[in-house]
Structure formats: C-alpha cells, structure tokens
Structure 1
Amino acid sequence: MDQTERRETTPPFTLLMAVYGGNSLREVERSVQSSTIEQTLPPSQVVIVRDGVVQDPVQRYLDTLQSTMSVWFTAEHPDMPVPEVTIVPLDENGGLAHALNVGLRYCAYDIVARADSDDVSLPHRFATLIPLFVRRSNAAHTNAQSRRPIDVMGSAIREFSDDEDEPGQIRMLPAEGSDLERYARMQSPVHHPSVVFRKSAVLDAGGYPEDSGRFEDYMLWERLMLAHAQFLNVPQALVLYRTNEAAYERRGGGEMFREELRLQWRFVRDGFTTPWQFLRNVFIRAIYRVIPTPLRKRMYRSMTSRHNTEIAASPQPPQPPKRGRHSAAPRTHADDAQSAQ
C-alpha cells in the first residue's frame, strides 16, 4: 500500500500543538516538520495555538506556515493534499491546558494527535498509531473488562538531549488492561507528547483541567479513566522527547512537591486512588522531589530501566507492519510528560 492508498483508507486527523515564548525557532520548525512532511501518513489539519507572545522568528514562521507547507508537499508529496494550517493566536499566555482546550475547538476531526513544540516525531509515528487506533475503535474490544473502543493511544518515547543521532533512554508503559490501570494509580498511564485521542471523549470529560499546575495531562487521564475510557500503549518508541539537566532540576523542589501533593489529594478525593495509595505516592514523591538533582537523575534512570524490564516481559499488542519510504529500520531513538515521573 503506497502513501496515497493509505491516506484514502485512513480517516483524516488533526495534529494539535501549542507554542509559547520559551520556544526557539529551531525547536518549533523541527517539531512541525517531523510531524507533517516527514510523516509517511501526514495529518489532514495542523492546529497550532500561539500561547501569548512568541519570539519574532517564531511568529514569522507561523505567519508563513501555510505557504511553507504547500511548498513542502508540492516537492515531497505532490500526490497528497496539503494539510490545512490553523494558527490560533492568544494575546496572553494562559498555560498549556488552556491553550490545548482552545485548540480543541478548532480541530476539525475527531481523531487528534498531540505533539509538543520541542519534541520530534519519528516518520512512522502516525502510520503506526492511526490505523491501529481506527482498528481498535471499530472492532470489539478484546479486554474482558470492557467492550468499549479505544479512546486514548500512546507509545513509548526515547529521550534525547540535543542531537537526535545520540538517543538516550527509552521510556515504556504497560500496554493496556489491569496492568495499565494499576500503573496509572502511581504514574501517568500515557506519554502526553505521544498520544492520539478521540476529541469527543476528551470534551465529554471536560477537557484539560486548567487548575492542575504542571499535571494537566495526568489529571485529564484520571478524568477519562473514571469515565471508563479505554487506553492503549504500543511498545515502539515513536517520539524523541527532549530532555536535559534543567528538566531534572524542574522535577524537584518544594513548589513541585506542593503541586504533586495537590494532585495526589485530588486523586484520593475523586476515588481514583485509595488512602493507602495516596500515602504511598506522597511518600515516594516526597523523596524524589527533595533529593539533590544528580541523585534524582540516577534514581529516575534506575526506576525507568526497571519498569522497562518488567513491561518488556509482559504481553504486548501486535506491531503493525511499517510501510513507505521512511520505513526501513527506524532509529529507535523523548515537561508535559514529566508528570509521568
């Protein structure tokens, strides 16, 4: 099946992003390019919310992105329609949750893929996730706990610092079912920069919580799980997640722990976690947030390695075949997703 045939047999979907003043032109350009023209299955629509004032080069890039996209696709995919670009300007920075809630209003399709403005999508990301998302949504769910279709799908991610050719640690998650339900009571059940979700399900759950500090994604997944939405993770690393020493510093400190405490209190109050799980989570998070950054980094890497080993030993959903000119042996190279740690 070539790219045109795949596009004709796959429902259209929207790519949703947000940019803000802290993003550089290099980051935004690389993220957009990797999520559109480099994809073997590009989105039909690109919605980018400008969350307040951005750097001048970034603004100029956004102003000309539709024409740039037309040039890209004329050169690279002349047989495919050019994605429609929708730029949503917000006068003031209202935070990621608010930006994404506004952006959802402009998404023309029910299938929405997220991308962060400083991460990189690997070329087969959407060709892997979207057909599987559609199949699992249309077919009867095989999980004995439910017959509902999949509402949220994510993937593993691989960290990188600055050079995409120097990949770092992979971060895997349980695939689905009871394993993922248990995991979600301790850590975020999906990596936010990797997800594809059903817009209608997110809107029915009230959208992204805008009073959640830096945990807007985790609290959204809680809302959806309480509403019995179905989640699935594929084991492939389909997103390169940008991280550095500053990211480990941001995961620590008193303010971060206070936000964590509010999050855990919200979970136990909502009935998402038990009092015992609340005490366990707060104790572990307190240690993780207050230890020195070098020790936090080592602890994080050790925990991730252990989780990966446990998850790799568990049954995984089948991997769909990769097709297209970018499909040969992909580089398995990932602070939205910081709430997962």
Structure 2
Amino acid sequence: MNQTERRETTPPFTLLMAVYGGNSLREVERSVQSSTIEQTLPPSQIVIVRDGAVQEPVQRYLDTLQSTMSVWFTAEHPDEPVPEVTIVPLDENRGLAHALNVGLQHCQYDIVARADSDDVSLPNRFATLIPLFVRRSNAAHTDEQSRRPVDVMGSAIREFSDDEDDPGQIRMLPAEGADLERYARLQSPVHHPSVVFRKSTVLDAGGYPEHSGRFEDYMLWERLMLAHARFLNVPQPLVLYRTSEAAYERRGGSEMFRDELKLQWRFLRDGFTTPWQFLRNVFVRAAYRVIPTSLRKRAYRSMTSRHNTEIATSPQPPLPPQHGRHSAAPREDARATSTSSTMPASSATSEPHAPPLQ
C-alpha cells in the first residue's frame, strides 16, 4: 500500500502537545518537525497548548507555525493536505494535566496522538501505530477479551541525551493482557510520549487528573483500567525520549516522595492495588525517591535491564511492518543496528515514561 492509499484508508488524527517556559526553541522545533513533516503518515491536525509564558523565540515559532507547515508540506509532501495548526494560549502555567485537558477540547478527531515537546518521534511512528490501532479496534476475534476495541496504544521508547544518533537503552513493557495488568500495579503500563488514544474514552474517564503531582498520566491509566479500557504496547521503539543527568535528580526529593505516597494511597483507595501491593509499592517506589541520586541512577539502570530481560524472553506479538521512504534512511539503519547490538534479536519493546518507577 503506497502513502496515498494508506492516507485514504486511515482515519484522520490529531497530534496533541504542550509547551512551557522551560522548553527551548531547539527542542520544540525538533519535536514538531519529527512528528509532522518527517512522518510517513502525518497528522491531520496539530494542537499545541502554550502552558503559560514561553521564551520569545518559541512564541515567534508558534506564531508562524501554520505558514511554516504549509511551506514544509508543499516541498516535502505535495500530495498530502497541510495539517491544521491550532495554538491554544494559556495565560498561566497550571501544569501538564490542565494543559492537556484544555487541548483535548480543541482536538477535532477522536484518535489523538501525544508527543512531548522535547522528545523525537521516529519517521514510522504514526504509520505503524495508527493503522494498527484502527485494525485492532475493528477486527473481530474469537475470544471475548480480544474482541474489545483498543483504547490506548503505546510503543517502546529509546533514550537519548543530546545526539539522536547515539541512542541509549530501550525501555520495555509487556504487550497486553494479564501481564500488562500485573505490571500496571507497580509501574505505568504505557509510555506517555508514545501513546495514541481515543479522545472519547479519555473524556469519559474525566480527562487527565489535575492536582496529581507529576503522575497525571499514570493516574489516567489507572482510571481507564478500572473502567475496563483495553491497552496495547507495540514491540518496537518509535520515540526517542530525551533524558539527562538532571532527570535522575528530578525523580527524587521530598516533593516526589509526597506525590508518590499520594499516588499509592489513591490506588489503594480506588481498589486498583491490594493492601499487599500498596505496602510493596511504598517500600520499592517511595524508597527510590529518597535514596541518593547516584544510587537512584544505578537502581534505575539495573531495574530497567532486568525488566527488559524478563519481557524480551516472554512471547511477543510480531513487529508491525515498516512503511515509507524514511524507513530505509541510513540514519534509521544506524539506530536499528544500535538496538540489535544491545538487545535480544527477538525483542524491541518498552518501559514507562518518567522514571522506571512511574
């Protein structure tokens, strides 16, 4: 199926992002470019919520983004419609959950893809996820569990520090079903910057929980799982997740410790976790927040490696096919080689968005 045929058979979808004062122009521009013009299946609409005041170069970039998008697509995708750009300005920064809830109100389409303003989407991200999301939602299967439509789909992510061509470790997650349900009681079941979801499902669950500290996405997934939404993780890294030494410091501290305890109490109160799981999570996850940063970094890498090994040796669904002219680019081949040299050949899956313990 060529690009035009795939576009004709694939429903339109919205890309949802939020930017804030801490984002640099370099980060925002790279994230938008990788999620639009570089995609073999670009979004039909781009919603960017400006969460409070931003740096002046970022504001100028947002002000001219629609015309920039027109120039890009005329040059690179002349047969594709130019995505509609919707910039939603908020006067003050009230947190990511609030920004995304406001942004959802401006999304024209029920299929919404998330992207963070400092991460990079690989060229086949939407060409892989969107058709599979639609197919797994519409297909009839023999067992009752599989017959339910997919509501949230994520992918593996691959870390990088500053150089996209020098990627770090892959974060892995169980694909679906009972394994993912068990995993979700300790850690986030999907990577937030990789997800595609149904807007209607998220809104029916009340949207992103606000005033939830730094765990707005994990608490949303809890709401959806309690409402019997269906989750699926694609065993292929489709997003480069920006990380740094400072990230390990942000995962700890007294504020994160308090947010962690509130999260675990919420899960227990809602019946998402059992009393035993609550105690386990407080011991494992809360302790992770208060240990020194150097130990936190080692613990993170050790736990990620262990989870990757466990998940890679379990049965995995086949990799979705890759499509499009970008998929064979030398840059992507180099990344694929890097991936295969650090992981078993049969695996290419993921682990959670913020800490290994989100």
**Fold conserved between structures, TM > 0.5:** yes
Q: How far apart, in 2, do the equivalents of 1:276 and 1:153 lie?
A: 29
Q: How far apart, in 2, do the equivalents of 1:25 and 1:214 lie?
A: 24
> Which residue of the partner structure matches residue 29 of structure 1?
29
Cα separation, partners in 2 of 1:239 and 1:90, compared to 1, 3 Å? same
Give the letter for the 1:204 counterpart.
Answer: D
Matches within 5 A, 1:70-109: 70-109=70-109
> Which residue of the partner structure matches residue 319 of structure 1?
319
Report if the CA contact (8 A) 1:98-1:208 is conserved. yes
Secondary structure of the residue aligned to 1:310 is helix
More moved, 57-66 vs 293-302: 293-302
Q: Are 1:4 and 2:4 an aligned pair? A: yes
Q: How far apart, in 1, do the equivalents of 2:262 and 2:243 lie?
A: 25
The offset of 1:274, in angstroms, is: 0.2
Give the aligned CA root-mean-square deviation in angstroms. Answer: 1.4
Q: How far apart, in 2, do the equivalents of 1:63 and 1:51 lie?
A: 15
Cα separation, partners in 2 of 1:307 and 1:45, compared to 1, 3 Å? same
Cα separation, partners in 2 of 1:202 and 1:7, compared to 1, 3 Å? same
> Which residue of the partner structure matches residue 39 of structure 1?
39
Report if the CA contact (8 A) 2:151-2:230 is conserved. yes
Q: How far apart, in 1, do the equivalents of 2:152 and 2:76 lie?
A: 30
Give the letter for the 1:40 counterpart.
Answer: T
> Which residue of the partner structure matches residue 128 of structure 2?
128
Cα separation, partners in 2 of 1:209 and 1:79, compared to 1, 3 Å? same
> Which residue of the partner structure matches residue 201 of structure 2?
201
The offset of 1:286, in angstroms, is: 2.7
The offset of 1:339, in angstroms, is: 5.2
Q: Per-residue CA shift, 1:236-279, capped at 9, x if unaligned?
A: 11000000010000001111111000000000000000000000
Deviant stretches of 4+, over 3 Å: 141-146
Report if the CA contact (8 A) 2:139-2:147 is conserved. no
The offset of 1:134, in angstroms, is: 0.3
Q: How far apart, in 2, do the equivalents of 1:210 and 1:140 lie?
A: 36
Report if the CA contact (8 A) 2:112-2:199 is conserved. yes
Give the letter for the 2:269 counterpart.
Answer: R
Secondary structure of the residue aligned to 1:102 is helix
More moved, 2-11 vs 137-146: 137-146
Secondary structure of the residue aligned to 2:37 is coil
Q: How far apart, in 1, do the equivalents of 2:198 and 2:135 lie?
A: 13
Report if the CA contact (8 A) 1:21-1:55 is conserved. yes
Give the letter for the 2:37 counterpart.
Answer: I
Matches within 5 A, 1:1-341: 1-140=1-140, 144-145=144-145, 147-328=147-328, 330=332, 331-332=335-336, 337-338=353-354, 340-341=356-357
Give the letter for the 1:255 counterpart.
Answer: E
Secondary structure of the residue aligned to 2:231 is strand
Q: How far apart, in 2, do the equivalents of 1:274 and 1:141 lie?
A: 32
Q: How far apart, in 1, do the equivalents of 2:143 and 2:208 lie?
A: 27
Report if the CA contact (8 A) 2:155-2:236 is conserved. yes
Q: Tell me, which stretches of 5 or more residues in structure 2 are unaligned? A: 340-349
Q: How far apart, in 2, do the equivalents of 1:327 and 1:314 lie?
A: 27
Q: How far apart, in 2, do the equivalents of 1:258 and 1:110 lie?
A: 35
Cα separation, partners in 2 of 1:59 and 1:289, compared to 1, 3 Å? same
Give the letter for the 1:208 counterpart.
Answer: Y
The offset of 1:148, in angstroms, is: 1.3
Q: How far apart, in 2, do the equivalents of 1:311 and 1:233 lie?
A: 12
Q: Per-residue CA shift, 1:120-150, capped at 9, x if unaligned?
A: 0000000010010000000135665453100
Give the letter for the 1:5 counterpart.
Answer: E
Secondary structure of the residue aligned to 2:53 is coil
The offset of 1:315, in angstroms, is: 1.7
Q: How far apart, in 1, do the equivalents of 2:143 and 2:286 lie?
A: 35
Secondary structure of the residue aligned to 1:166 is coil
The offset of 1:289, in angstroms, is: 1.1
Give the letter for the 1:138 counterpart.
Answer: N
Report if the CA contact (8 A) 1:187-1:339 is conserved. no
Report if the CA contact (8 A) 2:300-2:356 is conserved. no
Q: How far apart, in 2, do the equivalents of 1:158 and 1:274 lie?
A: 32
Identity of aligned residues (%): 87
Q: How far apart, in 1, do the equivalents of 2:317 and 2:15 lie?
A: 24
Secondary structure of the residue aligned to 1:299 is helix
Q: How far apart, in 2, do the equivalents of 1:287 and 1:270 lie?
A: 22
Q: How far apart, in 1, do the equivalents of 2:5 and 2:34 lie?
A: 21
More moved, 2-11 vs 62-71: 2-11
More moved, 126-135 vs 146-155: 146-155
Q: Tell me, which stretches of 5 or more residues in structure 1 are unaligned? A: none
The offset of 1:327, in angstroms, is: 1.3
Aligned length: 340
Report if the CA contact (8 A) 1:215-1:339 is conserved. no
- Normalising by structure 2, we get a TM-score of 0.93
The offset of 1:5, in angstroms, is: 1.4
Secondary structure of the residue aligned to 2:15 is strand
